Amino acid sequence: MAPPPPSAALPLTQRLLALAQTLQFAWFVGYVSHLISRPRCSMAHMTLLFCILRYSLSYITFNYYSGWARFSYRTAFISAAVTYGIVVYKAFRARARAVARGGAPVSLSSIMTDENIRENIQYLAMALVWLFSPQYPLAMLPFGVYSVFHVATYTRTNLIPTLQPPPAAAASPNGKPKSNATADTIGKFVKEYYDASMGLVALLEILLWGRILLSAIVFARYSWILLTIYTAFLRARFAQSAFVRGQFSRLEARTDSLVGAQSTPPAARQVWESIKSAARTFHDATDLTRYISGPAPPKKAS
């Protein structure tokens, strides 16, 4: 749980110093550097749109292997690893404090049943994998989308109350403190676009798997190792995320529609059915709940 913003009674300098001493501030700085670490984007106030545009220009001009581009790519994933590392550290620290107060001991099974911890560990691991792997710029986009919402939430709940604290006398008729218009706008943005953006993240992760598969087909460096690791990651995301499952379902439905057309050769339909059958077999074979819970008990005869 994030600590409350510093007291409005303190001077601005002391409020900023108090805010900078929190783990959430380091987490926020990690996300900001993740967003602005594209080539030659060195100012912290650069917007996400400009960063994406500048990185796109690096592709258009074929400068994505320049020294600045490589440095920016690696720095982005260092920042992503730091941010998720802080989240994982805080989760383990909270559990350790609970144990110190007489709670149940922390076990690996209890950790792995917590979906939030598992998800953060998975993204931390993938950030480290991308950090030491050949460049796959598409891999930065899911982290970038997450960054937008994390930074927006932090700005609304911490930065704005610190920089523009509500006056002590300002209150709405119902007795609650008067809200900040900028914070309300950010909150509305997060609420309105969160689901659509998580669907976009899921689609990007699926497209990234296809990109790695193409690299593996042509035997690019480390591609088969990366394909194995990323397949395990995407399988875990499929089990945990309704957005990923929804995108796979939509992809299957659209492909079924295309393959089912009269003009589609029978061989193409057969290939598509084979792919779906192999995917279902892989899903069933890697469903860990089957091995943990065991086979279903036989039904009693009526």
Question: 269 to each of 51, 126, 133, 210, 252, how far by Cα in Å?
Answer: 42, 35, 36, 20, 13
Find how far residue 127's CA is from the centre of its chain: 10
Q: Which residues pair with 253 in a beta bridge?
A: none
Overall average pLDDT of the 126-136 stretch: 91
Contact 63, 90 (CB under 8 A): no
Q: How confident is the model at residue 234 (pLDDT cuts 50, 70, 90)?
A: very high
Provide the token pair at 276. Answer: 């779906």
Confidence check: pLDDT of 92 > 70: yes
Which tens digits make up the pLDDT trace of 150-161? 778 777 877 777
CA distance 203 to 82: 24
Better-predicted residue by pLDDT, 33 or 174: 174
How long a stretch of residues is the chain? 302
DSSP state of 171: B
* pLDDT digits 0-9 by tens, 175-214: 566 777 888 888 898 899 999 999 999 999 999 999 999 9
Distances 120 to 93, 111, 197, 268 between C-alpha atoms, Å: 14, 11, 18, 39
Q: How far apart are CA 177 and CA 167, in angstroms?
A: 9
pLDDT band per the 50, 70, 90 thresholds, residue 49: very low
Q: Is the pLDDT of residue 58 over 50?
A: yes
Q: What is the pLDDT of residue 95?
A: 77
Confidence of residue 74 (pLDDT cuts 50, 70, 90): confident
Average pLDDT rounded to a whole number, residues 79-96: 80
Nearest to 279 by CA among 249, 258, 240, 242: 249
Average pLDDT over residues 138-160: 81
Angle at 45 between CA 16 and CA 15, to 5 degrees: 5
The yes-or-no verdict on residue 42 having pLDDT over 50 is no
pLDDT score of 61: 79
pLDDT value of residue 34 = 45
